[in-house]
Structure 1
């Protein structure tokens, strides 16, 4: 796991990977704003009139989205909101990251499967709904648990993210049933890197880059766990 993270971070020096990083950060910010806008819309529907919060002051629907105080709350809420963002990221952007990693570290591979966009999008949306509900619940648990609930949330998010990322990486070279079987076989070994990813996604600012890093890490994990594939850097 440590080697996979080190290789993924080291590849940020590669100009091709840096381009993907900036595209990924832009996508993450955009998705974060979309989710936050939905939260504000929900507040407007559930709370009649204006809601007053510290720093932000009056919050009244989408008109508050780009206020300075609202941006500060967005950064804070990214501790929870970036996990579902990372889930959407897999359906939109994972193949590009995995291709870059394989080009750099795993030369001579057979051409990968062409996974239909509808399949990737459906998988990402299914996980997104589950992770979004879990992390909204996690906000409440965190508030009443003196912070200990965040560790439990990391563990649960780590399991779900590792399952999603690894299965979608494996799907590029296996049929859906075989990809799921591989994930189940290595579930315990994948849980820790998934938990590290979940913890990184809870660190404001750093979490913007973590969906890309996570996709790279689980590409390395896939090749480490499938010895039939060519060895790294050959």
Structure 2
């Protein structure tokens, strides 16, 4: 597992893999910049109470809420936007470390879009449902966070990688037959997601990491070149 993680971080030396990082970061920054500008414009041009000082305070608070939410959700948005380009990362990892593999099953734009939307829906949905658990005593809430997100991220990244090499049912069967590795990898990914700035690299690193985890589940980890 440690070796797979080291290989995943080494993948950032590949220019095309770094390109996916920048696409996700810049796309998310542009999206949030436009959203923040639109919200600020709407707040400052819409009188809410008729009292200037009250409206000013509400505008200020509303703008701060938008900025805070943008900061909190920014890494998740980077992940979702990057997910549409992760096939390129997976191809680079396989070409570098597993050149013996045959060409993967191709996925269409619709399937990639649905994968990205499902990833967003699952992560946000389960975390919203688990929100009361996060409010537990310090320490216990961290355990809940890593268990929940470890399972989700491990499952989603594993299936993202596995369905390129086998059918969806076979991928699920393999994950259920050997659940510890995807779950452990998911916990590591969840931990990396909580580190500022490192979390912006997570989509690319996690995808490369899971390629090595998946291949180790199919057989011995082999490197080419």
Q: 2:191 aligns with which of 179, 199, 210?
A: 199
1:120 is matched with which residue: 74, 99, 112? 112
Distance 1:152 1:7, change over 3 A: same
Which 5+ residue runs of structure 2 have no aligned equivalent? 50-54
Q: CA contact under 8 A between 1:21 and 1:212: conserved in structure 2?
A: yes
Please give the alpha-carbon distance, in whole angstroms, between the structure 2 residues aligned to 1:138 and 1:58.
30
Classify 1:23/1:151 alpha carbon distance in 2 versus 1 (closer, same or farther; 3 Å): same
User: 1:223, 1:29 → 2: CA distance?
Assistant: 34
Match of 1:59, SS state, is: helix
Q: Are 1:165 and 2:165 counterparts? A: no
Q: In structure 2, do the counterparts of structure 1 residues 149 and 99 end up closer, same or farther at CA, with 3 Å as the change threshold? A: same
TM-score (norm 2): 0.77
Structure 1 or 2, whichever has the larger Rg, is: 2
Aligned partner of 2:75 in structure 1 is 82
Which residue of the partner structure matches residue 203 of structure 2?
A: 211
Deviation at 1:85, TM superposition (A): 5.3
User: 1:167: Cα distance to partner?
Assistant: 1.0
Residues 24 and 209 in structure 1, CA contact (< 8 A), matched pair in contact too? no
Q: Please give the alpha-carbon distance, in whole angstroms, between the structure 1 residues aligned to 2:57 and 2:133.
A: 23
Q: Please give the alpha-carbon distance, in whole angstroms, between the structure 2 residues aligned to 1:51 and 1:137.
A: 34
1:1-20 pair list within 5 angstroms: 1-20=1-20
State the Cα distance separating 1:186 from its structure 2 match: 2.1
Deviation at 1:198, TM superposition (A): 0.8
1:149-164 matched pairs, under 5 angstroms: 149-164=141-156
Q: How does 1:1-234 map to 2 (within 5 A)?
A: 1-29=1-29, 33=32, 58-60=60-62, 64=63, 71=67, 74-75=70-71, 77-78=72-73, 82-83=75-76, 86=79, 89-90=82-83, 92-138=84-130, 141-146=133-138, 148-227=140-219, 231-233=222-224
- Report Cα offsets for 1:12-49 as digits up to 9, x if no partner: 22333322332233345457x39x86xx89xx9xxx87
8 Å CA contact 1:8–1:217 kept in 2: the answer is: yes
CA RMSD of aligned residues (A): 3.3
| Count of residues paired in the alignment | 211
Q: TM-score of the superposition, structure 1-length normalised? A: 0.74
Matches of 2:91 and 2:56 in 1, distance apart?
Answer: 46
